[in-house]
């Protein structure tokens, strides 16, 4: 009886779409709500540093003088505190997975000068 069932399952699987994906050629779509990683729309960033102050992991560094915003993705615990605290709503959680890395790195973004009226809004 068991071998009949096994044979049926084997035959059935020949005509079904495989459960596996041809990774890395095919990628699984990110499930809804996946936090992924932080991205900064630097065109709206005013370098206020609030995100770095609220980050519990010390993953963010804001340098007003050098006009840079940086994140250490290896420290980030994806809590989204910085996203909630940013007064300019320029931070968001990108649901896509970050590429695999063999060495630690930091993402450094240069922040352009904001027009006066945009920075004040």
Q: By the criterion CB under 6 A, which residues form the site for ligand SF4?
A: 38, 40, 45-51, 54-55, 57, 59-60, 62, 69, 71, 76-82, 86, 88, 90-91
Q: Which is nearer to ligand SF4, 13 or 98 (CB)?
A: 98
What is the C-alpha separation between 6 and 116, in angstroms, rounded? Answer: 71
Q: Which is nearer to ligand SF4, 6 or 118 (CB)?
A: 118
Identify which of 28, 63, 59 has the alpha carbon closest to the alpha carbon of residue 45. 63
Contact between residue 82 and residue 45 where contact means Cβ atoms under 8 Å apart:
no
Q: Which is nearer to ligand SF4, 7 or 112 (CB)?
A: 112
Question: Smallest distance from the beta carbon of 100 to ligand SF4, in angstroms?
Answer: 19
**What are the backbone dihedrals phi and psi of residue 13, each rounded to the nearest 5 degrees, phi first?**
-70, -20
CA 37, 35, 23, 105: dihedral to nearest 10 degrees? 20
Q: Which is nearer to ligand SF4, 54 or 100 (CB)?
A: 54
Question: Smallest distance from the beta carbon of 86 to ligand SF4, in angstroms?
Answer: 3
Question: Smallest distance from the beta carbon of 19 to ligand SF4, in angstroms?
Answer: 33
CA distances from 45 to 20, 66, 68 (A): 41, 14, 10
């Amino acid at each position: 009886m068991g071998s009949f069932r096994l044979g049926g399952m084997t035959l059935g699987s020949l005509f079904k779409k495989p459960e596996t994906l041809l990774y890395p050629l095919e990628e699984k779509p990110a499930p809804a709500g996946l936090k992924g990683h932080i991205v900064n729309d630097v065109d709206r960033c005013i370098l206020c540093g609030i995100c770095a102050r609220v980050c519990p992991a010390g993953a963010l560094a804001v340098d007003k003088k050098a006009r840079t915003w940086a994140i250490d993705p290896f420290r980030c615990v994806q809590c989204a505190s910085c996203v909630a605290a940013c007064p300019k709503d320029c931070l968001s959680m990108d649901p896509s997975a970050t590429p695999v890395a063999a060495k630690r790195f930091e993402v450094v973004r240069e922040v352009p000068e904001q027009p006066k009226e945009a920075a004040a809004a």
